[in-house]
Chain A
Amino acid sequence: MAVYKQQYRPYEGPRTSPIWRFLVPLRYSYAKILQSRLLVLLLALCMFYPCACATIIYLSHNSPALAALRLRSGILPQVDGRFFYFFCTVQGSLAFVLTALIGPGLVWPDLANGALALYLSRPFARLEYVASKMTILVLLLSTITWLPGLVLFAIQAGCVGWDWAVDNAWLAGAILVASIVWIVVLSLIGLALSAWVRWRTAAGVAVLAVYFVGAGLGRAINNIWQTRYGYLIDLGEVMNTVWAGLFRYYRGPGLSPVHAWLMLLLVCLVCIKALASKVRGLEVVR
């Protein structure tokens, strides 16, 4: 009998479920992210608008408080699709800023330091790696988008009554879908750029550029070609169109919601393709 057969004893104890292994790298990433005071400050700032909205909802159903503040009841905005559309616009912009700050640092360091080979040499697939990195952004962005959105919905339901909640249940669904779609798009863009652009700085600039340069070029296309299809490369406009459709809010002429959804799908597919080509254990240079 070979020596190794006599002496080698592999680990035979229990193993964690493979389904949840993608959560392992999360804890380290969060620990690192939350070390940054700037990010913690930004996260706190992201809660300002939801708090203001909650105050508005509370005041609009509290006549004595309104009277004490000498405000007319009509001065406060109505809590409807338009209200939540603007909520998503503000929180979505902040989610974008957070992605520009956090996203670039997610994949790039692993690629630069050869850590990907270490991850992938374990029973940890590329898909799990991407899911793990994506979960970091998804959870963080959820805390500033759909979670406070649903809390606002619940506050309104609590103030008005169960009937309002039943009649406007589509609003809760819209908040959830609108936020999750935006989070997924942002996460994929953040990860793809982090994987493709070698430096954290450059990847951050690229995330900003995708948004702002896309908007600028979109306008240029519209003006040169006398069309509205330029908006297709304006990520903000695309997302606003999708949100407006979900919240049944008319924004005036612009992109059609179908085109906007298709564009989002295309962006996601391109990002997934980009990630698939970069998230590999080994990069061959000739």
Chain B
Amino acid sequence: MSHDLVVLEDVCRFYGEVLGVNHINLSIGPGITSLVGPNGSGKTTLLSLIAGLIRPSKGRISVLGYRPDQPQQLMRILGYATQFDSFPMGLTGLGLIYSLLRMSGYPHSDCRKMANQALEQVGLVQDSHRRIGAYSKGMKQRLKLACAIAHQPQVLLLDEPLNGLDPLIRATIIQMLRRLGREGRHVIISSHVLNEVEMISDQVVLLSGGYVAAEGPIHTVRTEIKDQPMEFLIQCDKPRLLACSIFQHDHVVEARLLPEDQGLLVKTRDANQFCRTICRLALGQVQIHGIIPTDDNVRSIYEYLVGNQEASK
């Protein structure tokens, strides 16, 4: 078992007859990894399996060399902000984090310091002495994040961490996650917000129906989707001429002129050949201002890999 990876080997989890996740093989390294998928695709199940809150029906999991059934070791290096908005009764924000740190075995003075640090990171210091029952949804969300990061874990599992946050706090939290990723921690996020996933993720794991549909850096994943032609927007001075020239090549399946001289939208089966063709044409009579890949993003990948399956259901 690798000591710097979160490894899942042929992991399956069934809830009775209902499939949670099936045959999951993943190796997640440091940085920010996003789990993306529609509702019920198994994102939360996967996070809970990694945290040991549920056991796999089959397969093995190792988190930096620790097994999930050894909470006394695993939870020292792992923090998990779950999707549940429930908190133990009658506690304040500070009281909850302090108590959890005391349960983890930290001495009193350290607990106070660490709890305050965590609350500061999520911008909740001012409200730390209020009872959690009186918190708003966004504050509860931040408190869950604070609980997860309070003991400075190496692996951070965050289930929909940006839900219910206002734009300013959202930006702060994204910054914090980026920093944690840069520090070499394993930050695994489950999210629906695709543009934010794209903004912060180093790699994505696309889940669909309990299976991994794709994994890796976004660009790599896109290039591996062979059955979907890649789409480029070309901005040039003579789009009509370029369209005529480029359409003669076999790898080009579609060329569409956008209105008001916005450019030419080209779909190609082979990105490398397309680049060579464009280079050749650029050396000729067409002056090219820019080439922008328009479907090399999480949203497109999601639509290609998940949208088709969802539509066929």
Contact = CB atoms under 8 A, between A and B. Distances in A.
Judge A-B direct contact (beta carbons within 8 Å): yes
B234 to A, nearest CB: 38
* Tier of interface size on chain A: under 10
Interface string A109-120: 000000000000
A198 B88 CA distance: 13
Interface string A275-286: 000000000011
A286 B89 CA distance: 13
B168 to A, nearest CB: 25
A198 B86 CA distance: 13
Nearest to A114: B85
B134 interface: yes
A236 B245 CA distance: 95
Contacts of A286: 131, 134
A285 B131 CA distance: 8
* A-side interface mostly: loop
Contacts of B134: 285-286
A20 B134 CA distance: 37
Contacts of B89: 198
Interface in B124-141: 131, 133-134
Interface in A259-286: 285-286
A285 B89 CA distance: 11
A229 B131 CA distance: 43
A273 B89 CA distance: 24
A286 to B, nearest CB: 6
Nearest to B86: A112
A235 to B, nearest CB: 29
Interface in B105-144: 131, 133-134
Contacts of B133: 285
Interface string A17-34: 000000000000000000
A285 B133 CA distance: 6
A286 B133 CA distance: 7
A285 B91 CA distance: 12
6 contacts: A198-B89, A285-B131, A285-B133, A285-B134, A286-B131, A286-B134
A281 to B, nearest CB: 16
